């Protein structure tokens, strides 16, 4: 298999028309049979198709993990409510704005506010936070990643100024979803939230963990089909990493290889998607973030949360919160990205179809 740019267009069209069986076969091929040369041709093609739409720009987002409380009990997550060992913290509205202030001075123009599903933050308090950010830091985008809420709540937050929303669907297969979540959570609800968010006007992010327990080629193919149907603006994927206080403790030793293949395939299938090289990828592989960018990703999200809380937002074991994960090391990260031939970009970094003046060349 030798993919040239014209082949990659054909491949992209093929990925957009392939059924479940063909998608599962192509994933199987790249996981099990492909040579190193074929995988590097795949990632090279993914980068070329990314650069056609984003001109080699890598967008920077400042991540603020503002609460480790969660009302849910997702079986894989270290923040699950029944984890009595988890350290719980909440940032006040003023502390969240302080993080943004620090981020703004560092150059960030997108803030990603993430938390467990913590109902302590009412619509009213979230609206105060969003309007506070919008008033003080003009021109910045606000991305929320705070879980499932009612349509009315999403609408109110959007009307107040929230621009984007990240809500991974986790898996598009019903049975698989049930193996990862307690009975009170449902794939239908999760999907409904995503469609509501899109209809309201958010730039929406979906996604899933790679190598999550019970994931198969067939469930992955269903993920691809769902992503094709939803056509989200952003897709977050990263390796599943076991957490010691969950039922999946020691489930297996995670690696970056499968995530890198899927990043490239997703880039080729949905060329304009904003695709982060995630913290989880950097956690399982020292060079994970760089390899993610070389596989077709175009977003990085350094951590802006207060230092004293960073290790407490513990979704999985050994989660990175130092070095290039930390916003304090921004200049080194930006320089490194430049040395890779890419362009660090601190602008809002909207989806190519929504950038004023059209997509960057
Ligand atoms: N509460 C929000 C939600 O439900 O979307 C956002 C926070 S949630 C902790 C963010 C993401 O972390 C989840 O969507 C999940 O994919 C990921 N995550 C949780 N546990 C993980 C693990 N053990 N390994 C890798 N990723 C994990």
Ligand 1 proximity of 116 Cβ (cutoff 6 Å) = yes
- Which of 170, 209, 250, 278 has the most ligand 1 atoms within 8 A of CB, as the residue to mutate? 209
For residue 357, the model assigns a pLDDT of 59
Which pLDDT belongs to residue 317?
A: 81
CA 24 to CA 260: how far, in whole Å? 16
**Ligand 1 within 6 A of CB of 254:** no
Q: Is 314 in the pocket of ligand 1 (CB under 6 A)?
A: no
Give the length of the chain: 361
The residue nearest atom 19 of ligand 1, judged by CA position, is: 77
Question: For each of the chain's 361 residues, which pLDDT tens digit applies?
Answer: 555 556 888 999 999 999 999 999 999 999 999 999 999 999 999 999 999 999 999 999 999 999 999 999 999 999 999 999 999 999 999 999 999 999 999 999 999 999 999 999 999 999 999 999 999 999 999 999 999 999 999 999 999 999 999 999 999 999 999 999 999 999 999 999 999 999 999 999 999 999 999 999 999 999 999 999 999 999 999 999 999 999 999 988 889 999 999 999 999 999 999 999 999 999 999 999 999 999 999 999 999 998 888 888 888 888 776 666 677 788 889 999 999 999 999 999 999 999 865 555 4
CB atoms within 10 A of CB 345: 20
pLDDT of residue 320: 73
Q: What is the pLDDT of residue 5?
A: 55
* Of residues 288, 313, 311, 185, the one with CA closest to residue 237: 288
2 alpha carbon – ligand 1 mean position (Å): 36
Q: What is the pLDDT of residue 328?
A: 73
Distance 275 CA to ligand 1 centre (A): 16
Q: Which ligand 1 atom is nearest residue 208's CA?
A: 16
CB 192 within 8 A of CB 169: no
Cα–Cα dist 300/58, whole Å: 7
Cα of 262 to ligand 1 centre, how many Å? Answer: 18
How many angstroms separate the alpha carbon of residue 357 from the centre of ligand 1?
Answer: 34
CA of 170 to the centre of ligand 1 (A): 8
Give the bridge partners for 82, in sequence order. Answer: none
Which atom belonging to ligand 1 lies closest to the Cα atom of 170? Answer: 16
Residues 207, 228: Cα–Cα separation, whole Å: 12
Q: Ligand 1 center to residue 8 CA distance, Å?
A: 32
Mutate to test the pocket of ligand 1, among 71, 75, 76, 314 (most ligand atoms within 8 A of CB): 76
Distance 315 CA to ligand 1 centre (A): 7
CA 20 → CA 15, 23, 26, 170, distances in Å? 10, 5, 10, 18
* Atom 20 of ligand 1: nearest residue by CA position: 77
Cβ within 8 Å of residue 219, ≥6 positions away: 171, 172, 173, 176
Label residues 291-329 b or e (16+ Cβ within 10 Å = b): bbbbbbbbbbbbbbbbeebbebbbbbbebbbeebbbbee
Whether ligand 1 lies within 6 angstroms of the CB of 240 is answered as: yes
Nearby residues of 151 by Cβ (< 8 Å), 6 or more positions away:
196, 200
Q: Is the CB of 315 under 6 A from ligand 1?
A: yes
Q: What is the pTM of this model?
A: 0.96
Q: Is 316 in the pocket of ligand 1 (CB under 6 A)?
A: yes
**Sheet containing 62-67: which strands, arranged edge to edge?**
62-67, 110-115, 141-145, 164-166, 203-210, 234-239
Residue owning tokens 């059924």 = 19
List, as own/partner pairs, every contact residues 5-8 make where C-beta atoms lie below 8 angstroms and the sequence separation is at least 24, other chains included. Answer: 5/45, 5/48, 7/45, 8/45, 8/46, 8/48, 8/49, 8/268
Residue 43 CA, ligand 1 centroid: distance in Å? 26
Specify the pLDDT at position 361. Answer: 47
User: What pLDDT does 322 receive?
Assistant: 65
Cβ(280) to ligand 1 under 6 A? yes
């Amino acid at each position: 298999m030798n993919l040239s740019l014209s082949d990659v267009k054909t491949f992209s069209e093929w990925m957009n028309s392939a059924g479940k069986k063909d998608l599962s076969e192509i994933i199987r091929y790249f996981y099990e049979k492909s040579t190193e040369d074929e995988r590097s041709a795949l990632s090279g093609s993914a980068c070329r198709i990314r650069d056609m739409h984003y001109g080699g720009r890598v967008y920077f987002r400042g991540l603020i993990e503002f609460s480790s409380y969660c009302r849910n009990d997702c079986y894989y997550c270290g923040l699950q409510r029944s984890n009595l060992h988890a350290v719980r913290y909440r940032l006040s509205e003023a502390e969240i704005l302080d993080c943004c202030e620090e981020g703004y001075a560092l150059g960030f123009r997108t803030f990603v506010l993430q938390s467990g599903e913590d109902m302590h933050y009412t619509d009213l308090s979230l609206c105060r936070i969003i309007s506070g950010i919008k008033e003080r830091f003009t021109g910045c985008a606000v991305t929320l990643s705070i879980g499932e809420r009612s349509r009315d709540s999403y609408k109110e937050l959007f009307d107040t100024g929230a621009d984007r929303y990240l809500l991974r669907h986790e898996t598009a297969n019903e049975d698989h979803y049930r193996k990862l979540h307690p009975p009170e959570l449902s794939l239908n609800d999760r999907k409904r939230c995503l469609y509501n968010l899109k209809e309201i006007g958010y730039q929406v992010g979906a996604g899933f963990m790679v190598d999550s327990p019970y994931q198969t080629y067939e469930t992955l193919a269903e993920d691809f089909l769902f992503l094709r149907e939803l056509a989200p603006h952003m897709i977050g994927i990263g390796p599943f990493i076991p957490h010691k206080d969950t039922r999946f403790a020691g489930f297996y030793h995670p690696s970056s290889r499968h995530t890198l293949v899927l990043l490239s395939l997703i880039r080729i299938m949905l060329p304009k998607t904003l695709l982060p090289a995630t913290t989880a990828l950097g956690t399982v592989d020292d060079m994970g973030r760089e390899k993610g960018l070389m596989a077709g990703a175009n977003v990085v999200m350094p951590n802006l949360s207060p230092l004293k809380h960073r290790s407490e937002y513990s979704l999985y074991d050994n989660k990175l919160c130092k070095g290039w994960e930390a916003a304090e090391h921004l200049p080194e990260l930006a320089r490194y990205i430049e040395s890779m031939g890419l362009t660090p970009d601190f602008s809002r970094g909207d989806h190519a179809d929504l950038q004023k003046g059209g997509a960057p060349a």
